[in-house]
Structure 1
Amino acid sequence: MAHADIGGAMIDAPVLDILTREKNNSLSAREWKFRLAGYGYAIKDVAGAQVVTKLPQGTEIGVLPAHFH
């Protein structure tokens, strides 16, 4: 499955708010990813970067900022 080159696209502020809130409320990276799936988002590794995608299509939204790693 090929992916689009999103070139470090910025993630919208409301989505970043969800990512931040759920990361702060999670005890592990696994729980965080599970919680994000409930909002229709996923994190996937692409060429050494973590990319936020929209479920269920897997549409790439943007690269996860470094402070989330």
Structure 2
Amino acid sequence: MFADNHLTESLEEVTAFLLSERRKTLSEAEWRFRMRGYGYSLRRTDRGVEVARLPQKTVLGTIQA
């Protein structure tokens, strides 16, 4: 399987990608691990899941997952 390797700042596109990858994993820990490989850091907060781009940890936004 190949990932669509284009850089985007659109939270909608990133959210769609993250949620599609979440459906492929068995646990949230596995999902976070896989997303680090794609350059995203996920952190659970009271408001949802905070998404940041690595390595700078630039926060893109929060998604409901």
Q: TM-score, structure 2 length as denominator? A: 0.72
CA positional deviation for 1:45: 3.9
Runs of at least 5 residues in structure 2 that lack an aligned partner in the other structure: 1-9
Q: TM-score, structure 1 length as denominator? A: 0.68
Q: CA RMSD in A?
A: 1.5
Runs of at least 5 residues in structure 1 that lack an aligned partner in the other structure: 1-10
> Quick one: distance in 1 between partners of 2:44 and 2:16?
21
Counterparts of 1:1-69 in structure 2, within 5 Å, are 12-46=11-45, 48-49=46-47, 50-65=49-64, 68=65
CA positional deviation for 1:64: 1.6
Q: Residue deviations 1:8-51, cap 9 Å, x none?
A: xxx622101211111000010010001111111011245x2331
In the TM superposition, structure 1's runs of 4+ consecutive aligned residues that sit over 2 Å from their partners are none
Q: How many residue pairs align between the two structures?
A: 55
More RCO (CA 8 Å, sep 6+): 1
